[in-house]
Chain A
Amino acid sequence: MTGKVAIVEVAQSPGGESGDNYLDQVYRICKEVLDKAGMKRKDVGTVVSASSDVFHGGVSCANAYYWDAGAGFLKNGSRQDGESLFAFYYGVLRILSGHYDTALILGVCKGSENPDNDMLTHFYTDPFYQRPLGMNETFAAALQMRQYLDKYDVTEEQCAQVVVKNLGNALRNPYAHIRKRVSVEEVMASKRIMDPLKQMECAPKSEGFIALLLASEEKALELTAKPVWLKGYGASMDTFYMGDRDLLSSQLTNAAKKAYSMAGIADPKKELDVAEITEPYAFQELLWYEGLGLCGQGEGGKFIESGATGIEGEVPVNPSGGVLATNSYVSRGLYRVAEVALQIRGQAGERQLDKKVNTGLAHGTHGFAGQCHAVAILGI
């Protein structure tokens, strides 16, 4: 990092379907984060939002629609498509450039106004070779899951444990969408929609309005007693055609390596106090444990079984309930960052971990079988 940037405040909306007007929801979440920071809209330096036109209720140029509701009037701001961690990082860059002291980062995705994610992710395909075969994120994930189960010692039951853990964690998260106690048996018995993937292993479609306020070192110390600093960031893209990919060895390792290196982390399992991982398909949480270096290749199943990623474990993963509990698609990366920040600040309410949380990891992914990964390390 060429300087210090902190998260000074967080405001998130609950993930459940809401009949509210979406512009009102954007406005309220921005107002909330500003009020919490004791700032007025005019004092914010820049606004970087995240949204995707195809996940935007059929209204394209999303940034135009919510610009003023999103605190952007007459500001120099921008917008990232696809991955809200990109918006987070771009806000950081704008502050590090010296042009701005503060940045409002906004994630906008109203699941209840959109068609199914399967329909929308289908449009990532090229029109010629993959679209005729109906490729979408669920189809891609199922191909990846089969290969994972075939190659390694990972069982379907171990994959199902991710659902049990995360939906159970969500019971203590008032912002989560799906919050319930389920059993491995229930998950295993749910419809095998894209065998080996089961219905309950696939993330829902949730509302996601979220705002973070970032500040430069000097400004952060003025605005809050508990700044959460960005320690490291890495992101990486994979190649496009499914047939060209090694589905089990993703760019996550590359992204994590860059983030760890920046943050000076040599042993993530020991040095991370918490991790919020984007797991739209349950087995992917196990695969991403491996990509993040929390355990060895093929060991993801054993790792979850060991309890290491449970609430009381060595590296609690997804105390918020993760994406299986709340899938606001575009915004979900920022929800990961928010949870880590809240845990570090001791503001995670009922789900606050019972240990000192100094360093955490927030991860975002999107695209077929994780074609894109972004990792942020946050700390005190």
Chain B
Amino acid sequence: MGKNFETLEHQVWLPYKFSVGPVFNRFFEGLKEGKILGNRCPKCNKVLVPARSFCPECFVDMGDWEEVSQEGEVVTWAQANYEFFGAPAEPPFIGALIRLDHTDCNFLHLVGGFDLSDIDAVKSKVKSGARVKAVWSDVKKGHMLDIKFFEPE
């Protein structure tokens, strides 16, 4: 059963218009200006970045905005060596969670700026705890990839 039946191929494409809202909008405006903006929960005092509209734990509106440090530590990372849908770059590239200094959550982004062809060399450069610093694109459009990557110091 089922050996010689045909397959019907079909693609579905759908358009979307996501509402950005005032908080994310301001975060993206910050990127355009070369700034990374977080905000602080008035209840638990945590600084979250990228900025949020509400604190997930306290369930209250976030309070004061802060321009956060563009340097931090790698918390964890992974090197992509294959192509996949929605990938931010051609492989090989490194995705990571980075704790920017004086913030209370991890920032998802890329680590780069050096040769990725030798995995052992990469591992010595990018361990957990490694210090990294944001490197920006020349053209900024208000998009997460306005930051090109974080480069190890």
- Could you tell me which A residues sit within 8 Å of B by CB distance? 18-21, 58, 115-116, 118-119, 122, 127-136, 138-139, 142-147, 150, 191-197, 239-244, 247
11 contacts between A and B (CB under 8 A): A58-B11, A128-B18, A130-B108, A132-B88, A133-B88, A143-B96, A194-B81, A195-B78, A239-B56, A243-B105, A244-B48
Interface contact B76-A146, CB-CB below 8 Å:
yes
Interface contact A242-B106, CB-CB below 8 Å:
yes
Interface contact B144-A132, CB-CB below 8 Å:
yes
Q: How far is the CB of B20 from chain A (nearest CB, A)?
A: 7
Q: How far is the CB of A193 from chain B (nearest CB, A)?
A: 4
The docked-state distance in angstroms from the alpha carbon of A115 to that of B109 is 26
Pick the interface stretch among B2-10, B63-71, B132-140: B2-10
Which residues of the partner chain A approach B77 to less than 8 Å between Cβ atoms?
143, 146
The docked-state distance in angstroms from the alpha carbon of A115 to that of B85 is 10
Interface contact B78-A196, CB-CB below 8 Å:
yes
Beyond A19-B2, A118-B85, A147-B128, is A133–B76 a contact (Cβ under 8 Å)?
Answer: no
> When the two chains form the complex, which single residue of B2, B16, B81, B143 contacts A195, counting CB atoms closer than 8 Å?
B81
Interface contact A243-B97, CB-CB below 8 Å:
yes
Q: Is B37 close to A, CB under 8 A? A: no
> When the two chains form the complex, which single residue of B3, B7, B82 contacts A193, counting CB atoms closer than 8 Å?
B82
Interface contact A20-B110, CB-CB below 8 Å:
no
Closest Cβ neighbor of A122 among chain B residues: B86
Number of A-B residue pairs at CB separation under 8 A: 122
Q: Is B58 close to A, CB under 8 A? A: no
Q: Is B80 close to A, CB under 8 A? A: yes
Which residues of the partner chain A approach B96 to less than 8 Å between Cβ atoms?
143
Which residues of the partner chain B approach A145 to less than 8 Å between Cβ atoms?
78
The docked-state distance in angstroms from the alpha carbon of A147 to that of B129 is 11
Interface contact A20-B78, CB-CB below 8 Å:
no
Q: How far is the CB of B90 from chain A (nearest CB, A)?
A: 11
Does more than half of chain B's interface fall in helix, strand or loop, or is it mixed? loop
Q: Is B114 close to A, CB under 8 A? A: no
Closest Cβ neighbor of B57 among chain A residues: A239
Please provide the chain B residues from 77 to 105 with a CB less than 8 Å away from any CB of chain A in the complex. 77-82, 84-88, 95-97, 105
Which residues of the partner chain A approach B30 to less than 8 Å between Cβ atoms?
none
The docked-state distance in angstroms from the alpha carbon of A143 to that of B48 is 20
Interface contact B108-A129, CB-CB below 8 Å:
yes
Beyond A20-B1, A240-B56, is A133–B78 a contact (Cβ under 8 Å)?
Answer: no
Give the one of B24, B78, B97, B145 with max A CB within 10 A.
Answer: B78
Interface contact A242-B86, CB-CB below 8 Å:
no
Which residues of the partner chain B approach A139 to less than 8 Å between Cβ atoms?
78, 80, 95
Closest Cβ neighbor of B56 among chain A residues: A239
The docked-state distance in angstroms from the alpha carbon of A128 to that of B76 is 21
Q: Is B34 close to A, CB under 8 A? A: no
Closest 10 interchain pairs by CB? A142-B78, A243-B106, A19-B2, A119-B85, A195-B79, A147-B76, A132-B144, A20-B2, A134-B87, A193-B82
The docked-state distance in angstroms from the alpha carbon of A239 to that of B105 is 12
Interface contact A147-B75, CB-CB below 8 Å:
yes
Q: How far is the CB of A332 from chain B (nearest CB, A)?
A: 21
Closest Cβ neighbor of B84 among chain A residues: A118
Which residues of the partner chain B approach A240 to less than 8 Å between Cβ atoms?
56
Which residues of the partner chain A approach B1 to less than 8 Å between Cβ atoms?
20
> When the two chains form the complex, which single residue of A20, A58, A138 contacts B84, counting CB atoms closer than 8 Å?
A138
Interface contact A143-B56, CB-CB below 8 Å:
no
The docked-state distance in angstroms from the alpha carbon of A19 to that of B29 is 50
Interface contact B82-A243, CB-CB below 8 Å:
no
The docked-state distance in angstroms from the alpha carbon of A304 to that of B117 is 33
Q: How far is the CB of A126 from chain B (nearest CB, A)?
A: 9
Which residues of the partner chain A approach B10 to less than 8 Å between Cβ atoms?
58
Q: How far is the CB of A123 from chain B (nearest CB, A)?
A: 9
Which residues of the partner chain B approach A194 to less than 8 Å between Cβ atoms?
78-82
Which residues of the partner chain A approach B88 to less than 8 Å between Cβ atoms?
132-134
Q: Told that A132-B88, A136-B84, A143-B95 touch, could you supply 13 new A-B pairs with CB distance under 8 A?
A: A130-B108, A135-B108, A143-B77, A144-B76, A146-B78, A147-B128, A150-B76, A194-B78, A194-B80, A194-B82, A196-B78, A197-B78, A243-B106
